[in-house]
């Protein structure tokens, strides 16, 4: 099979995310590319969680509604997901907990609860047990499962192996699926790709580019970055702080920047609201800071664990006054890794706030990650000098806000003998002393705007707009962020062009218009209710009619079927 979707569902606390990852790792070892969507409500125990693990011979970054196998640890999973089953689908379930009534598809009930009881295993091991059965059903060799368990469940490995083997053997007696999994694993083990979330990719990209400090207050779906940074702080010499509020977070980042320590912060909409006064300070004081802003469904508390692309204009405009900013919105793990590093470099090169705008899907979905595909980081390194911040040459008296053609003043960090390094949230003169003089006010405003122009010029060497899919098609889908994956897949099926806008500020107007010059029909695909990128494009004279905006704003991402259905209607 070229494309295979498995849904594993149960209650929160069953370890459904981990179970999904185990399934993902099995397929990864067989040479498939992985995408995993994890759906969970905002609670700790109970409720319904599910993971959809998709394995494909193609690179993918979207889920399908229809599934090939349903793994049900409870009754609710069956009830909620029966509609996803195809005639050829298969259901594997805990026969001690689940009754299958009126399901015509092939199925296999395993006495999971009894097996665990007999083995005196922990309740959470039901995952391992049922995945053992699953492997037999779909035709994955025991040795593949054994390899995954040995690597990822070193704790109580023997017991896990025992219950998995029970599941595997008992399934053998009476059930198997008609269409079996193939192995494309002619690759050697060292070529296998890791499976990571967008949040983890962002963390690694920042670290690679020289991050030294990460400050955040936990907020879904950004917390994965904080957890990752904290876990690996020792390994990478990172200073990781979880302070009292997002207000403190944003000010701490700037204390670090003042002292020459490259720092990033992370949050979601509500926390970002608290950061805005500090964002404006970064604009005025010209402080480099990277903000990972992971969108979820709003307004206000909204749906804490679900997705949206509703904050584009908020991030574009956050903070009082006028100042340049960099905003990038990666669409998968490789882009997240590459652009996180770019964001850190640009923040320091131009002394501006830089935003990595994601959503729940990019931040928390699991992707096969190919570091070699992530971008020409070697090329980046060759231009290392170009990416270093502009540092003071030590001549004469230091002026923190010295006027330069590019608008970018040389940086110095305390202590510097005989110098005072002064930064200021007030309008200030070149030396960083407060001033209310009208000429200085105007000149400093011009200086900040010049930095924005320099940043825009520098960005011309990056692929700020990507043209994907059928580049000759006159019909194009316009997307940003996580919708890249689903748009590419729909475009592949229908022969459409995809235009992905990666950088939203400074807006890549020329590049976008070039990519659109022969497009006859442009459809915007977004996860918000108004078409936020479409509105932004409209500001630059790119009109996308309301009926050409394909919008989803129920907290859930587009499935491939969702988008194909919408496109069938729109293009009819």
Residue closer to another protein by CB (options 77, 409) is: 409
Residue 98 CB, nearest distance to another protein (Å)?
32
Residue closer to another protein by CB (options 120, 143) is: 143
Name the one range near another protein by CB under 8 A: 42-50, 65-73, 253-261, 513-521: 253-261
Pairing of strands 3-12, 85-94: unpaired
Residue 200 found at the interface with another protein (CB under 8 A): yes
Closest CA to 39 of 67, 75, 9, 71: 9
Structure tokens at 316: 């574009």
C-alpha triplet 392, 396, 402: angle, nearest 5°: 55
Give the HSE-up count for residue 277: Cα atoms under 13 Å, Cβ half-sphere: 7
Q: What is the dihedral of CA 478, 483, 484, 488, to 10 degrees?
A: -80
Residue matched to tokens 């998968």? 332
User: Alpha-carbon torsion 449, 505, 272, 345, what sign?
Assistant: negative
Q: How many residues bind another protein (CB under 8 A)?
A: 67
Residue 253 CB, nearest distance to another protein (Å)?
7
Residue 235 found at the interface with another protein (CB under 8 A): yes
Name the one range near another protein by CB under 8 A: 134-142, 244-252, 480-488, 517-525: 244-252
* Identified binder of another protein from the candidate list 234, 300, 439, 547, rule CB under 8 A: 234
In 31-151, beta strands by DSSP E: 33-39, 46-56, 67-72, 85-94, 106-110
Residue 196 found at the interface with another protein (CB under 8 A): yes
Q: What is the dihedral of CA 375, 381, 385, 387, to 10 degrees?
A: 30
478 CA to centre of own chain: 19
Phi–psi pair at 56, nearest 5 degrees = -145, 155
DSSP string spanning 47-66? EEEEEEEEEESS------SS
Closest CA to 266 of 217, 207, 334: 217
Phi–psi pair at 400, nearest 5 degrees = -60, -35
Residue matched to tokens 């707009």? 465
Residues between 327 and 366 that touch another protein (CB under 8 A): none
Name the one range near another protein by CB under 8 A: 101-109, 238-246, 501-509, 532-540: 238-246
Binding pattern for the stretch 6-45 against another protein, x by CB under 8 A and - elsewhere: -------------------x--x-----------------
Residue 288 found at the interface with another protein (CB under 8 A): no
Binding pattern for the stretch 65-104 against another protein, x by CB under 8 A and - elsewhere: ----------------------------------------
Residue closer to another protein by CB (options 296, 399) is: 399
Residue closer to another protein by CB (options 381, 514) is: 381
In whole angstroms, give the CA distance from residue 202 to residue 218: 16
Name the one range near another protein by CB under 8 A: 98-106, 190-198, 344-352, 546-554: 190-198
Residue 391 found at the interface with another protein (CB under 8 A): no
Residue matched to tokens 């963390």? 203
Name the one range near another protein by CB under 8 A: 78-86, 130-138, 321-329, 416-424: 416-424
Residues between 428 and 487 that touch another protein (CB under 8 A): 428, 432-434
Name the one range near another protein by CB under 8 A: 88-96, 294-302, 355-363, 411-419: 411-419
Structure tokens at 451: 């930095």
Pairing of strands 213-216, 239-241: parallel
In whole angstroms, give the CA distance from residue 178 to residue 524: 40
In whole angstroms, give the CA distance from residue 221 to residue 266: 10
Name the one range near another protein by CB under 8 A: 115-123, 249-257, 439-447, 503-511: 249-257
In whole angstroms, give the CA distance from residue 552 to residue 563: 10
Residue closer to another protein by CB (options 92, 265) is: 265
* Identified binder of another protein from the candidate list 87, 158, 178, 244, rule CB under 8 A: 244
Structure tokens at 82: 């029966």
* Identified binder of another protein from the candidate list 416, 442, 474, 493, rule CB under 8 A: 416
Residue closer to another protein by CB (options 254, 309) is: 254
* Identified binder of another protein from the candidate list 157, 212, 467, 519, rule CB under 8 A: 212
Paired with 196 in beta bridges are 367
In whole angstroms, give the CA distance from residue 223 to residue 216: 8
Residue 540 CB, nearest distance to another protein (Å)?
33
Residue 245 found at the interface with another protein (CB under 8 A): yes
DSSP type of residue 149: H
Residue 565 found at the interface with another protein (CB under 8 A): no
Residues between 255 and 284 that touch another protein (CB under 8 A): 255-256, 258-261, 263, 277-278, 281
Binding site for another protein (CB under 8 A): 25, 28, 151, 189, 192-196, 200, 204, 207-208, 210, 212-213, 215, 232-237, 239, 241, 243-245, 247-249, 251-256, 258-261, 263, 277-278, 281, 285, 369, 371, 381, 413-426, 428, 432-434
């Amino acid at each position: 099979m070229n494309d295979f979707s498995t849904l594993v569902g149960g209650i929160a606390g069953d370890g459904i995310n981990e179970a999904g990852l185990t399934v993902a790792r099995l397929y990864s070892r067989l040479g498939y590319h992985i995408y995993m969507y994890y759906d969970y409500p905002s609670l700790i125990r109970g409720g319904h969680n599910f993971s959809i693990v998709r394995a494909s011979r193609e690179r993918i970054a979207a889920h399908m509604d229809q599934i090939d196998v349903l793994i049900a640890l409870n009754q609710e999973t069956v009830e909620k997901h029966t509609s996803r089953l195809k005639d050829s689908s298969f259901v594997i379930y805990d026969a001690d907990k689940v009754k299958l009534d009126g399901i015509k598809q092939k199925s296999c009930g395993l006495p999971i609860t009894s097996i665990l009881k007999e083995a005196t295993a922990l309740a959470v091991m039901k995952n391992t047990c049922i995945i053992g059965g699953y492997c037999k059903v779909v035709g994955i060799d025991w040795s593949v499962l054994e390899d995954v368990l040995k690597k990822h469940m070193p704790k109580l490995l023997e017991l896990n192996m025992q219950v998995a083997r029970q599941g595997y053997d008992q399934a053998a007696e009476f059930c198997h699926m008609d269409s079996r999994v193939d192995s494309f694993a002619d690759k050697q083990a060292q070529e296998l790709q890791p499976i990571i979330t967008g949040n983890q990719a962002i963390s690694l990209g920042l670290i690679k580019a020289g991050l030294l400090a990460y400050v955040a207050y936990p907020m879904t779906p950004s917390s994965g970055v904080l957890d990752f940074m904290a876990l690996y702080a020792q390994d990478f010499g990172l200073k990781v702080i979880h302070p009292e509020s997002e207000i403190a977070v944003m000010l701490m980042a700037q204390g670090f920047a003042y002292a020459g320590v490259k720092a990033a912060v992370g949050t979601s909409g509500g926390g970002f609201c608290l950061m805005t006064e500090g964002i404006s300070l970064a604009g005025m004081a010209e402080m480099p800071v990277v903000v990972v802003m992971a969108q979820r469904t709003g307004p206000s508390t909204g749906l804490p664990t679900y997705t949206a692309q509703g904050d584009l204009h908020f991030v574009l405009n956050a903070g009082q006054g006028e100042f340049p900013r960099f905003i990038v919105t990666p669409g998968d793990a490789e882009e997240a890794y590459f652009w996180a590093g770019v964001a850190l470099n640009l923040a320091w090169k131009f002394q501006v706030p830089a935003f990595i705008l994601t959503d729940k899907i990019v931040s928390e979905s699991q992707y096969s990650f190919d570091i070699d595909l992530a971008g020409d980081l070697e090329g980046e390194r060759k231009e290392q000098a170009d990416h270093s911040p502009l540092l003071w040459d030590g001549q004469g008296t230091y002026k923190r806000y010295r006027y330069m053609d590019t608008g970018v003043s040389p940086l110095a960090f305390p202590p510097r003998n005989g110098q005072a390094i002064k930064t200021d949230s007030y309008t200030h003169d070149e030396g960083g002393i407060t001033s209310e003089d009208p000429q200085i006010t105007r000149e400093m405003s011009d200086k900040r705007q010049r930095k924005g122009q320099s940043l825009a010029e520098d960005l011309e060497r990056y692929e700020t707009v990507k043209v994907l899919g059928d580049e000759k098609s006159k019909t194009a889908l316009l997307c940003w962020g996580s919708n890249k994956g689903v748009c590419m897949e729909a475009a592949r099926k229908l022969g459409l062009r995809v235009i992905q806008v990666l950088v939203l500020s400074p807006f890549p107007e020329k590049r976008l218009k070039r990519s659109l010059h022969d497009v006859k029909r442009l459809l915007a695909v977004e996860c918000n209710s108004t078409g936020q990128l479409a509105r932004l494009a409209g500001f630059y004279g790119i009109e996308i009619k309301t009926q050409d905006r394909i919008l989803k704003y129920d907290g859930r991402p587009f499935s491939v079927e969702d988008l194909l259905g919408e496109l069938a209607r729109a293009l009819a």
